[in-house]
Amino acid sequence: MKAIAIENPGKEYRLVVADIPTPQPKTGEVLIKVSAAGLNHADMAQGAGRYPPPPGAPDTLGMEASGEVAEVGTGVTNYKVGDKVCALMGGGGYAEYAIASEKCLLPVPKSVSLIHAAALPEVHFTVWTNLMDAARLQPGESVLIHGGTSGIGTAAIQLCVARGHKTFSTAASAEKCAVIEKIGGQAINYKEQDFVEIVKKETGDKGVDVILDMVGGDYIQRNMSAAAIWGRIVNIAYMSGMQASVNFAPMLMKRLSLLATTLRARSNDEKGAIRDALLKNVWPLIDTGKIKPIVDQTFPLADAQKAHARMASSGHIGKILLTM
Ligand SMILES: NC(=O)c1ccc[n+]([C@@H]2O[C@H](COP(=O)([O-])OP(=O)(O)OC[C@H]3O[C@@H](n4cnc5c(N)ncnc54)[C@H](OP(=O)(O)O)[C@@H]3O)[C@@H](O)[C@H]2O)c1
């Protein structure tokens, strides 16, 4: 089968179409005939040689895909050949066929095309577990989502809005802010406005209860300023820096929690628990169109390199997909 392999891993990595054996599903796994695969920052980090796949995962890229079940391994009970699914996977999604654990599979929601379903798994697993499991977001609480037009951001804003949370979100341009407003968030153009000031002003000086951050760097201190008493700040990445000089006094004075998690290395059982929560709480909202996948662009598999360049440019809004 055709799959994307990494040539020259490192800063100047190249993505090429390779012919590799079609994988076989083991116990508890399914083989998916892939229709589309979603891009993630982790794929770029893997190409650059900074983020090896977890043990047991294929070397080829791709952490999520949509398609039809082509074969089921022993012990698979909830899915059968021909089912239309989308899935989170340890790797190997940029390919004609990919393996996923049954625990990481979800049906394609009624309102979503088979191709756009590839935009759903990674963002919804990540958003749910960080907002609900880590930050323990409660009904009626306010939220600040950084990187509002990222794949993660567009999913997080829609989930928070659908569940009735006052939702602020930052982005770098008027065009990106317009998208945030369109999906129900209150946009803050961070190139022109200070998110701490806006959040304080709009919450009567209280601050926000939960912050979902992928930026890090100097946002670590500023998030503490924007947080309410008993606020929870959860980092899923540190795109502008892993290191910062921080005054921790607000942590004590405001009784804050500073959290950070990654998804990829978790066990299939842990991912399965998140999948169950998504099926119960999020998939009905997608089925009815209250939450939609926001797709920036699709590229044919052979143009994976161009797709990565698009993601690296930060010009995109929502998810970038590869189609088979
Ligand atoms: N921990 C986890 O389990 C987990 C899971 C999934 C994703 N992630 C991470 O979450 C982040 C978002 O993922 P995604 O797929 O949604 O990304 P994405 O769609 O590529 O969006 C990233 C956005 O972040 C914003 N940004 C802010 N500061 C930035 C900086 N210094 N450098 C680059 N971009 C910056 C950019 O928007 P502006 O132009 O508005 O600044 C950019 O569009 C990535 O870092 C990813 O690795 C973590």
pLDDT tens string 245-300: 999 999 999 999 999 999 998 999 999 999 999 999 999 999 999 999 999 999 99
CATH topology match: 2-120+264-323 vs 124-260: no
Considering the domain 2-120+264-323 in this protein, what is its CATH number? Answer: 3.90.180.10
Average pLDDT, the chain: 97
So what's the pLDDT on residue 55?
87
So what's the pLDDT on residue 54?
87
| Closest to 6 in 3D by CA, of 72, 131, 132, 92 | 92
Q: Check pocket membership of 172 for ligand 1, CB cut-off 6 A.
A: yes
Q: How many CA atoms lie within 13 A of 48 on its CB side?
A: 11
DSSP string, 255-269: T-EEEE--STTS-HH
215 C-alpha to center of ligand 1: Å?
7
So what's the pLDDT on residue 265?
87
* Class at the top of the CATH hierarchy for domain 124-260: alpha beta
Q: Where in the chain are the domains?
A: 2-120+264-323, 124-260
* CB contact at 8 A, 301 and 17: yes
Which two structure tokens, joined as six digits, stand for 149?
Answer: 């037009």
260 C-alpha to center of ligand 1: Å?
14
* CB contact at 8 A, 77 and 67: no
Exposure string of 151-161, with b = 16+ CB inside 10 Å and e = fewer, is: bbbbbbbbbbb
Helix (H) or strand (E) holding 16: strand 14-19
Strand-pairing partners, residue 29, are 101
Q: Check pocket membership of 175 for ligand 1, CB cut-off 6 A.
A: no
Which two structure tokens, joined as six digits, stand for 274?
Answer: 């998140």
Regions in the chain scoring below 50 on pLDDT: none
So what's the pLDDT on residue 56?
86
Q: Check pocket membership of 214 for ligand 1, CB cut-off 6 A.
A: yes
Which two structure tokens, joined as six digits, stand for 220?
Answer: 């670590």
80 C-alpha to center of ligand 1: Å?
35
pTM: 0.98
295 C-alpha to center of ligand 1: Å?
15
Q: Check pocket membership of 211 for ligand 1, CB cut-off 6 A.
A: no
